[in-house]
Every structure is written in C-alpha cells, then in structure tokens.
Amino acid sequence: MSVNQREIGRRTLFAEIRRQGRIPRIRLSEVTGISRATVTTITAELLRDGLIEEISSESPDKDARRGRPKVDLKICGEARLIAGAKISNRSVSLVLLDFEGNQLADHEVELEQTAHQAVDLAQLLAGHVGDLANKVGRSLADVSGFGLGIAGIVDAPRGFVHWSPSLTSRNVEFGKVLSDTLSIPVFLDNDANLVAMAEKTFGLGQGHSDFIVVTIESGVGMGIVIGDEIYRGTRGCGAEFGHTKVQLEGALCRCGQRGCLEAYVADYALLREAMSASGGQDERQVEDLLAAAKDGDAVAGSIVERAGRMFAMGLANLVNIFDPELIILAGEQMQASHLYAEEVIEVMRKLIVQVDKAPPEVVVHKWGNQMWARGAAAYALENVSELALQEMKDHVV
C-alpha cells in the first residue's frame, strides 16, 4: 500500500469510527469497503498513537467464551482536549471538549467593552481558556486546539479578520495573534458559520446535507451548508446575509454601509428607531420594546412590524436564490417571536417563486451562546483530528 493510499485509508477509517461512535473492525471494513487486512493494519497504528481505543462489544457473542471477546473501536476521549469560544457583544462563552466531542466544562465571562485591540483580546481569551482547563484539573498547555467564532467578515483558512465589531482595527491576522499568544493551534471563523457547524454536528441540521442557518442576535448572520460542507466564499465574505441590501441609501449599518438588512432587524436598529421616534427620549431595552409592541404600543408595534417585513423579504431572497430544503432560525434572539411569527413566515411564502411544491421548511432553534461555543469547538476538533492524523505520517515506514 502506498503512503498516499494509507493516508486516505486512515482518514476514512478514523472519520467512520467518529461517526459511528463505536464499531467492530469487521463492520468498519463492511461500511468503508476497505479490506479487513488493511483495517487491521491501520487501526493498529491508530491504537498505537492513542487516537482510538478498544472497548468490550455491546453486542452478544456466542463464541466469546471459546476465544478472545469481541471488541469495538472508538475514539479515545483522553487523547486531546479541545476548547471553543464565541465572542458576543458583551460576553465570551467557552466550552471544553474531549477528543470524542463530549463536553467537559463551560465558562461564561462578561466583557467590559464591545471592541478590543487584537493583542488585548487575545490575552483576555488566553486567560479564560486557561481558566476553562483548570476546571477539569488541566492547564492551557494541555489544550490541543482552540476554535473561535467571531462576528464579522472572516477569511477562515487564513485566520484573517477583514472586519469585526469585536476588534478596533480592520484587516487583522487575528488567528496568528491568537496562536502566538496561546501557543496552541487556533481555528478562527465567522460565528454564524460555526453555528452551522454546531447544527450539522449535534443540532437540527443532522441528517441534512444542504441547509441554511440564519442567526439573529446583536447582528444578523448566516451559515450555509452545501454538500455537507460549509460555504464561505472565495474571500471569506460569502453568506453575509445581514449585509444584503434591502433599501437603497437606507439606514446606516454598523459595517459602515447603508441599507443592510441588519440595519433594520438587529437589536441596535430597533433601539435606534425607538430613540429617533421619541426625539431621543426612549431609552428602553430591546426586551421592553418588544413587550410594548405586544401590549399595543403603536410606535413600538410599528418598529417591530417593519423589522418583520424586512426580515421576511430577506428570507424570501434566500429561498429564491438557494431553494434550500431547510432554514434554521437560531440564536438567543429566538427567545422572542417577532422575527419568526407566523405572519412573518407567511409574508416570506408570498414573496418566493411559486411552484407546485411545498416551500422550504423553516424551523426555530432557541439556544444561547454555549451552542455557538460548541460549534467553535467542533470546528477545532475537526482540525485537530486532521493534525493528529498528519503527525502519524512520521511513523510510517
């Protein structure tokens, strides 16, 4: 077997073991089409490097008493520690996973400000990842990789942030700044992409190879999964749903342009409208504004109703472009219903191309920042697994 064939076989078998959770060698050969002899050779290498382990089979074995008991193979959870984090407007949420993907600990920290210099934010995150590891009796040095979801326009392969509301500067090699500060591999991506990763790995996207996730928090984001892969665009600017234009020369968006969808439906947009309508006197929070709209407040109702119409138009544009099987509306703002009320979805249905087939399913997934952090950790886990398999090449003769 050539080195290249061995590497492909190793990746295939390792991925299948992870997907199955636990699986005997003979079954592994059957589902991958790789010969039993090759499965035995490669899994022996994975066992030797501590990436997988043997456990007693759960299936009954009539012949176990006459020979060696049947065993299954599974990922060795203790092989690596993986951290993931999501930076929100005023907080950082972190989770720690083992190599199997089991969550070991979580950590939530409030931020004193919304935007930071890159070096300062990296040092802050390094301290919190260390605190996270300490919760399970480990240290930052024991963490094999760190995944981070950050709002803005991110070139994930380069770890390059073109713009983010969490950073005071544009065009920052933030991945390098982070890896230099933490002294571990860092995997950076737009936070909405990592929500899509979370939904694909352990959320409502499981079993779907093509779907769209729309996130609504302090801003509006989107993650697209096509053919089981996250679509990012050639510059890392793909899927910027919040910055699609819905009004020529319209409201000012925090990205610096005008007429973006986000400038009409995000938290800051609703509050800005309320402040403007009151002549600068309305200092209510978003929760208060939404409650007032439900209670019949005319001004609040008008603001929320317009946000719903704009959002419905944006969703209709997504359907007309992608025609996805499933759209997941996700995030903390899903605790409120103004953007997914039936009347909003009905407006979307009226605006899409009409054919004699049902429109895409729109589902709501209400969860907070820990899910975003788990998506970041899942992204890091995928990359750390690849690094671990690459390191095995040194052992191949």
Nearest to 306 by CA among 335, 347, 334, 275: 347
DSSP 186-247: EEEEEHHHHHHHHHHHHSTTTT-SSEEEEEESSSEEEEEEETTEEE--SSS-TT-GGGSBSS
Q: Active-site residue among 72, 155, 189, 191? A: 191
Beta-strand relationship, 211-216 and 326-331: parallel
Residues in the chain: 397
Nearest to 150 by CA among 80, 29, 211, 236: 236
Q: Are 163 and 253 in contact (CB under 8 A)?
A: no
Q: How many helices (H) and strands (E) does the chain have?
A: 12, 14
- CB under 8 Å to 109, separation ≥6 — which residues? 91, 92, 94, 128
Rounded CA-CA distance 318/212 in Å is: 9
Q: Is 131 a catalytic residue?
A: no
Nearest to 278 by CA among 310, 249, 302: 302
Any idea which residues carry the catalytic annotation? 191
